[in-house]
Structure formats: C-alpha cells, structure tokens
Homo-oligomer: A and B are copies of this chain.
Amino acid sequence: MAQRRTATIKDVAAAAGVGIATVSRVFSGTGSVSAATRERVLAAAGELDYRPSALGRGLKLRRSGGIGLIVPDVTDPFHADLVAGVLACARGLGEHVIVDAAYGDPAREAEIVERLVEQRVDGIIAVPAGARADWRAAARVCSSVVFADRMLPDLPEIPAVLADDAGGVRSLTEYLAGLGHRRVGFLGGAPGAPAGVRERAFRDTLAQLGVPVEEDLVVAARAARDAAYAAAAGLLQRRADVTAVLAAGHLLGEAAVLVARELDLRVPADVSIAMVDDVSWAELCDPPLTAVARPGHDIGYRACELLLREPARRGRGQPVLLPTELVVRGSCGPLRPARR
C-alpha cells in the first residue's frame, strides 16, 4: 500500500497484464476497451492507488486543463462574486482555475500573465488593470484572453463581458432626478480609469433630463478607501447644497455613508445616497442603501463560457453586456429645502 513512489500508468499496465495504451484508453475514455479488460485495469489501478498525472497528459496534449483568472483584489466583494462565477463555470467544464490578484498594478499584472503563459493555461480571464501586460502575446502564444468587467480601449479586439454600467448609472440618475434632486454629486473613479463610462452616463442622462451638470459636483478618486473618503469628504464639505450623492462604486458608497455620518447629515433627510454595486452591506446600513446591482457572478460565468465554449463567437463583435438592476431601498428621499 505504501508504495515507494506514486504509481504510473506503466505500473497499472503491468499489474493488469495489459499494454499501457489500454490503460490510457480506460482512463481517458477514448477508443474501445472490452468490459472485462476495463474491469481488470480499474481493479489494478485501485489496488495501486493510481491517479493519472495531469502533468504527463498536459505535456502530451500541450494544454494544462486549467485557466488563469486575474482580478484586482479577491477581497473586493464584487470581484469575489466574479471569481465564484468563473469557478462555477470552470468546474462544470472540468477545468481548474489559477487565481491571482494584481491590485491594480499593471506591472504585477504583466508578471502574472507571464507566469500563466508558462503554465500553458487554456485561457485567461482578466479584469485588466492596464495595457502593460502583453495581452496580445498571451493570446497568441498559448491561450486566449477574455476581459471581464472592464475592457481596454487600446485592445478592442479582445472579447469582453461587461455589466451595463451605463444603463445602471442612467437608471440611478433618473431615479434621483425623479425624486426632484437637481444638485447631485457624482463620486467617480480615477480620471483615466476605464470606468469613465459611468461618468459619461451620468452626464448624458442629466443632459437628457435638462439638468445642467456642474463640474464642481463631479469628483474622481482612485480606487482605494482613503482616496474615496477624501473625495466624498471634499464634495460634501465644499458643497453644502448637494441634496444627493451618486457613488459610482461600493468603495465610494461606503465613503459617502461614512462622511455623511461624520458630518451629522441625516440620510435621506439631508442627503440622499445611492451607489453602484449592490454589495451585502447595502442592506445592513441604516437606512439600507439604494443601489444598482451588477451581476458579478454572471459576468464571471459568462466570461468563462465565452473563453472555453464559444471560441467562434470570440473576437468578433461587441462586448457582451449584462443587465444591471436598480434595487430601491431607503437611502433616497424626495427633495427637501436645502440644508443650512
């Protein structure tokens, strides 16, 4: 039982009195093997505690049977959802998933891509941080690439699965405007960030509704807690006349809630707050936060499907857009006389 080394296909073949080709056929399910022989092979394999080596198979097949997944941060609830979606799909297709976090650093991301290529992964799903990694090379050398949640303007040819952020922000903006708000603050992502879609949607929707956009109310912050807090604090202190805040991400929403509390602003009596990303704490807040849910799990699942099952549909056409959903809770109220 406690054999010197892990059993190989050769050992099984010898033990079962057949050729290695036959053992291979039994385990890979290809070709034809008589029932009796299969039985014998399986028995021998069980006896020896044999597990086929993915390394040997991978070398021969020139693919590892796994995919790579790069997210900015596994700790972020949205990205965690996305990871779960990829895992769910990959499991169904018999692939394992190598996960890594790039923390928004293009250099780190490039390094991860490099490593994944060496692993000869069957494909890479990434929430890309930047164009520094040689995505094209990765796609060419050994695998295909699908972007999730974000796409890179420089690389339109790489397929992507995105949430309909523009639609989400539009419904949020319309909702706030519908409540009578005219001076709505917008907390957005970093200036150059690909999330510019959300800011554009905000501006467009307001324009469409005939509400003038005050530049002063649109602020941008890096995707970090401190930056988000600073941005929110800056906005609410500078403009005491703001009656609603639209946070374009859960970190920004968190900051808005914290700053409002710090400034003793009642929600929604003094300010209405709404955000993008319906993370779990939105419901725990007091009052519960109105938010736009973005389907992180589905994005991951779909990206994985696109990568592994639909090579045909990849590469041509527009990114896949998944719908968002407005979840109205208690953090937004009708316009009241300006505070102060």
Say yes or no: A80-B74 contact (C-beta < 8 A), given A53-B118, A54-B120, A118-B54: yes
- Residues of B close to A280: CB separation below 8 A: 254, 281
Chain B CB within 8 A of A97 CB:
yes
- Residues of B close to A115: CB separation below 8 A: 96
Whether B97 contacts A99 by the Cβ 8 Å rule is yes
- Residues of B close to A312: CB separation below 8 A: none
Q: Mask for A132-143, Cβ within 8 A of B = 1, else 0? A: 000001001110
16 A-B residue pairs with Cβ-Cβ distance under 8 Å, sorted by A, are: A6-B141, A51-B117, A51-B118, A53-B120, A54-B118, A55-B58, A55-B64, A56-B59, A59-B59, A75-B77, A77-B80, A254-B280, A280-B281, A281-B284, A284-B285, A285-B286
Whether A87 contacts B99 by the Cβ 8 Å rule is yes
Quick one: which of B52, B141, B258 contacts A118, CB cutoff 8 A?
Answer: B52
Chain B CB within 8 A of A152 CB:
no
Whether B119 contacts A54 by the Cβ 8 Å rule is yes
Number of interface residues of A (CB under 8 A): 51
- Residues of B close to A6: CB separation below 8 A: 141-142
Chain B CB within 8 A of A83 CB:
yes
**Which residue of the partner chain B has the closest CB to A53?**
B120
Chain B CB within 8 A of A309 CB:
no
Chain B CB within 8 A of A219 CB:
no
Given contacts A54-B118, A55-B55, A97-B100, 17 further A-B contacts (CB under 8 A): A6-B141, A51-B141, A51-B142, A54-B64, A58-B58, A58-B59, A74-B74, A74-B83, A75-B80, A75-B84, A77-B80, A97-B98, A98-B99, A99-B99, A254-B284, A258-B284, A285-B286
- The 10 A-B pairs with the shortest beta carbon distances in the complex, nearest first, are A281-B281, A286-B286, A99-B99, A55-B58, A55-B59, A54-B119, A75-B80, A54-B118, A96-B98, A80-B80
Chain B CB within 8 A of A73 CB:
yes
Whether A87 contacts B101 by the Cβ 8 Å rule is yes
- Residues of B close to A119: CB separation below 8 A: 54-55, 66, 96
- Residues of B close to A164: CB separation below 8 A: none
Chain B CB within 8 A of A49 CB:
yes
Q: In the assembled complex, how far is the CB of residue A95 from the closest CB belonging to chain B, in whole angstroms? A: 10
Query: A residues 51-79 with Cβ under 8 Å of B?
Result: 51-56, 58-59, 62, 64, 66, 73-75, 77
Q: In the assembled complex, how far is the CB of residue A226 from the closest CB belonging to chain B, in whole angstroms? A: 14
CA distance A115 to B53 in the complex (A): 10
Chain B CB within 8 A of A261 CB:
yes
- Residues of B close to A281: CB separation below 8 A: 280-281, 284-285
**Which residue of the partner chain B has the closest CB to A76?**
B80
Q: In the assembled complex, how far is the CB of residue A297 from the closest CB belonging to chain B, in whole angstroms? A: 8
CA distance A107 to B281 in the complex (A): 31
CA distance A286 to B264 in the complex (A): 13
CA distance A137 to B64 in the complex (A): 23
CA distance A54 to B117 in the complex (A): 9
Q: Mask for A1-22, Cβ within 8 A of B = 1, else 0? A: 0100010000000000000000
- Residues of B close to A83: CB separation below 8 A: 74-75, 99
CA distance A117 to B49 in the complex (A): 12
